[in-house]
Every structure is written in structure tokens, then in C-alpha cells.
């Protein structure tokens, strides 16, 4: 009887072992496959989250928001505004850095004030559209006519909506936007102070002389300064996310595709600001 039981146990063991091995590997395969599915789901969620963030960032970079509704923007106090013609907004960090710079300038007898700050897409769109019918500098080109020459003429001194760095809350125009003023004795002194000291406060002259920087795009603007601790990131994100196909929604937008506004204008800046 004992012998019979021993044989039976051995037989059972003999039969059970392969079954156990099969079950073990089957479980292993199922477990690995579950892990892979979980990982795939996680990767998909990460990808979706990145796409959502990118879409949000693109809306921001193209100025399609109202700065008055955002917590990261603040109103520029009137006493720092050159014209006092309505509320101006900046990113908090930009205004804080500007205030330190303004105090330092004042201590050395140089008066600086903000003439323009954040301009969103809607603002820029109205400004741009207005140029098609009102600006005397382009009267030579038939008014209200959609043609490429007119587009290029306006582009010499107005950013296409969706391509202006003023959308970002990091850009300020200081003491006007007039090159003749910056060639006056007062203007030269103010510019020289900024050129020497603005970097200490994080500001960089975005559009220097084109020949010096060997760049395309906008002419020299001695009044336009970027707050680079923020604007460097936004510049990189703009390069990564925005294409000319994204730029539309204003008069003459059909001409956008005929040129490289992203690289030759929006990203064509003083290399020291990059």
C-alpha cells in the first residue's frame, strides 16, 4: 500500500510539474502584457498632457488671451506710463525687474517710462487692419487693396498679429517708439544708459542695428526691450510650436504663406537676447 502511494505521489508530481511550469509562464506572460498595457496607457496620458500644454502655450505665444484675466499679469501703475492712455499690463516678473531698473535710472538722473507693454492678438489685429486704410506712409500703395506689396510695406513697422513679442508680457517700449527722438541729446543719453545698464536687470535690446546682428526682420528699435529670464523660454517655445500655418485672422492673411514670418521676423532678433 505504501509503495503504491509512493508511486502515485511520484506520478502526480511528475504530471503536476509541467502544468505548474506552464501556469507560471502563462501568468508571467499575462503579467508582462498587463504591465505593457499600463505603460502604454501612461505614455498616452503623458503625450496627451504634453499636447494640451503645447496647445495652451501656442495660444499664449500668439497673444490670444486677455491679460486682465490672468493672475500672472499685473497693471503697470500710471506713474510709470509715458502716455497714461489706458491700462497697460505686464508679467509680474517683468514689471518687478522694470521697477528696479527705473529706480536705478532715476538715481542717475535718467527718466524712463513705459510707452507700450503687452499687446494681445486682438489689439494687434485692430492695429494691423487699421493700417490697410489709414496710414499715410503707405498711401502710395492703393488703400484697402489686398496685395502683397502693401502687406510688406506695413510689415516694415507693424508686427503681423500672432507674431509680435509684445503678446508675451515680457516686452516693453521705453520713452516712445521714435528713432528721431533717440537721436536727440536727451534720447541718446537715455539710450546709452539703457544700453549700459539694462542687462543688469535682465533686459535686452531686441532689435539692434540689422547690420551689426546680421539679421532680417524689423529695423532697429532703441526703445524695445525684452525681459530675457522669461522671453528666452518663450522664444524657444515659439520656435518649437508656431508655424506660418498658425498665423491668420486679419486683413491680408493670405500673404502669410508666401514668406517666413516666423524665422525672418518673430525669431530674428539680437542674438544676445536668445
Footprint of Zn ion on this chain (CB under 5 A)?
Answer: 173, 224
d(CA 80, CA 267): 29
Q: Residue 74 forms beta bridges with which residues?
A: 90
In the complex, the smallest distance separating the C-beta of residue 164 from Zn ion, rounded to whole angstroms, is 8
Based on CB atoms, which residue is closest to Zn ion, 173 or 213?
Answer: 173
d(CA 12, CA 7): 8
In the complex, the smallest distance separating the C-beta of residue 51 from Zn ion, rounded to whole angstroms, is 31
In the complex, the smallest distance separating the C-beta of residue 55 from Zn ion, rounded to whole angstroms, is 27
End-to-end CA distance of the chain: 91
d(CA 86, CA 78): 9
In the complex, the smallest distance separating the C-beta of residue 105 from Zn ion, rounded to whole angstroms, is 18
Cell match 487693396: residue? 145
Based on CB atoms, which residue is closest to Zn ion, 21 or 155?
Answer: 155
Cα 207–Cα 116–Cα 154 angle in degrees, nearest 5: 60
Based on CB atoms, which residue is closest to Zn ion, 141 or 238?
Answer: 238
Cα 47–Cα 166–Cα 176 angle in degrees, nearest 5: 170
Based on CB atoms, which residue is closest to Zn ion, 58 or 166?
Answer: 166
User: Which residue, judged by CB position, is nearest to Zn ion in the bound state?
Assistant: 224
Q: Residue 89 forms beta bridges with which residues?
A: 75
Based on CB atoms, which residue is closest to Zn ion, 33 or 274?
Answer: 274
In the complex, the smallest distance separating the C-beta of residue 60 from Zn ion, rounded to whole angstroms, is 18
Cell of 107: 538715481
CB contact at 8 A, 208 and 179: no
Amino acid at each position: 500500500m505504501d509503495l503504491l502511494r509512493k508511486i502515485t505521489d511520484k506520478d502526480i508530481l511528475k504530471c503536476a510539474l509541467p502544468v505548474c511550469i506552464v501556469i507560471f509562464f502563462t501568468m508571467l506572460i499575462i503579467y508582462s502584457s498587463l504591465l505593457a498595457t499600463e505603460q502604454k496607457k501612461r505614455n498616452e496620458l503623458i503625450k496627451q498632457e504634453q499636447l494640451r500644454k503645447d496647445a495652451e502655450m501656442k495660444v499664449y505665444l500668439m497673444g490670444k488671451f486677455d491679460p486682465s484675466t490672468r493672475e500672472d499679469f499685473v497693471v503697470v501703475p500710471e506713474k510709470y506710463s509715458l502716455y497714461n492712455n489706458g491700462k497697460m499690463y505686464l508679467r509680474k516678473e517683468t514689471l518687478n525687474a522694470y521697477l528696479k531698473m527705473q529706480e536705478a535710472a532715476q538715481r542717475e538722473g535718467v527718466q524712463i517710462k513705459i510707452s507700450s507693454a503687452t499687446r494681445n492678438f486682438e489689439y494687434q489685429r485692430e492695429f494691423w487692419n487699421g493700417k490697410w486704410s489709414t496710414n499715410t506712409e503707405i498711401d502710395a500703395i492703393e488703400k484697402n487693396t489686398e496685395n502683397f506689396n502693401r502687406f510688406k510695406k506695413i510689415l516694415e513697422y507693424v508686427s503681423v498679429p500672432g507674431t509680435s513679442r509684445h503678446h508675451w508680457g515680457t516686452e516693453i517700449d521705453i520713452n516712445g517708439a521714435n528713432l528721431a527722438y533717440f537721436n536727440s541729446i536727451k534720447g541718446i543719453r537715455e539710450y546709452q544708459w539703457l544700453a549700459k545698464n539694462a542687462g543688469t536687470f535682465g533686459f535686452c535690446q531686441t532689435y539692434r542695428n540689422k547690420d551689426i546682428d546680421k539679421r532680417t526682420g524689423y529695423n532697429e528699435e532703441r526703445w524695445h526691450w525684452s525681459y530675457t529670464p522669461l522671453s528666452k523660454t518663450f522664444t524657444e517655445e515659439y520656435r518649437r510650436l508656431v508655424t506660418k500655418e498658425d498665423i491668420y485672422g486679419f486683413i491680408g492673411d493670405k500673404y502669410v504663406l508666401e514668406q517666413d514670418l516666423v524665422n525672418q521676423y518673430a525669431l530674428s532678433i539680437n542674438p544676445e537676447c536668445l
